[in-house]
Amino acid sequence: MARINHDTVELWQGWQRRELRVDRCKDCGTWVFPPRPFCPGCWSDALVGTALGGAGRLVSYSLPRVAPGSPPVVSGVVALAEAPGVRLLARIVGIEPERVALGMPLALGWWEDDGGVYPQFGPVDAAPARPDGGAVGGVADEGAADGGAGEAGA
């Protein structure tokens, strides 16, 4: 069960509908995540929940040890292409751990257990926009990793 509170329950409820909604400031365009009471850029209270498709790129990941015989787990940080400056912590699935590369493009999916529905990410089937050798550069260039983040997301 997620540890939700008054400030995060709306996001959590969106997940239960398999919907990723991120607040965006109506006045200055800043994407706001995790949920905050008002825009940290301009202090406007006008935040608008915006549903995202969930395209992203992998910022970093680790492979935590799991119980013997259990499937491997890839625990990653994903930068969302549609919302510069927004990142999610999520499982990376559908790919062998040794093929995971920093900067790789990812697509949003969902998984669930008894406690609820959670986002996860998997590889994009189409040819990656960035060749394998460019993965490192993709991370070093934060703008690219974070969906072309401008001032608003930095």
Contact pick of 20, 22, 32, 39 for Zn ion (by CB under 5 A): 39
Peptide bond into 131 cis (omega under 30): no
3 state DSSP class of 24: strand
| CB of 80 closer than 8 Å to CB of 86 | yes
Site string for other proteins, 123-152 (x = CB under 8 A): ------------xx--xx-x----------
Nearest to 108 by CA among 117, 96, 119: 119
* H helix or E strand, kind and range, residue 82: none
Spatial distance between the Cα atoms of 110 and 27, rounded to a whole number of angstroms: 31
Residue span binding other proteins (CB under 8 A) among the ranges 18-26, 48-56, 64-72, 124-132: 64-72
Residues that bind Zn ion (CB under 5 A): 25, 27-28, 30, 39, 41-42, 44
Residues that bind other proteins (CB under 8 A): 1-5, 8, 11-12, 34, 59-67, 73, 75-77, 87-91, 97, 102, 113, 115-116, 118-119, 135-136, 139-140, 142
